[in-house]
Amino acid sequence: MSNDTLRGCRDGAQTGMIQREIYLMNAASLFAKAEAEKDSAIKADFENMARACLRLANQADRNAQNDVVHETPPPPRDRDQP
């Protein structure tokens, strides 16, 4: 397997594609490689990686729908002060 298949996140940032699309393309590529593979152990590995990419695509979709704002918490108060 080439490193291109596993490099989806970095490539997505460079090409402007959203994460979900990158993961879906990786999943399709891995399923195609599994289909062509004759060794059953390697085929199973490709299929497992493809399913992981599908789960990541679903998570990326959910993350894109969230509008999370991270704020720095206030400094801790001294316990001796009221």
Q: What is the pLDDT along the chain (82 residues), one digit of tens a residue?
A: 455 544 544 444 433 368 899 999 999 999 999 999 999 999 999 999 999 999 999 998 888 777 767 789 888 887 766 5
Residue 28 placed within a domain: yes
Q: Which domain holds residue 19?
A: 3-65
Q: Domain total for the chain? A: 1
Residue 74: inside a domain = no
Tokens of 35: 């289909």
State the Cα–Cα distance between residues 29 and 52, nearest whole angstrom: 13
Q: How many alpha carbons fall within 13 Å on the CB side of residue 22?
A: 19
Domain for residue 79, yes or no?
Answer: no
Would you say residue 82 lies in a domain? Answer: no
Q: Is the Cβ–Cβ distance between 20 and 61 less than 8 Å?
A: yes
Return the pLDDT at 61.
85
pTM above the 0.85 mark?
no
9/25 Cα distance (integer angstroms)? 12
Per the domain annotation, does 70 fall within a domain?
A: no
Q: Is residue 77 part of a domain?
A: no
Percent helix, percent strand, percent coil in the chain, to nearest 5: 70, 0, 30
Asked, for residue 71, whether it belongs to a domain, the answer is: no
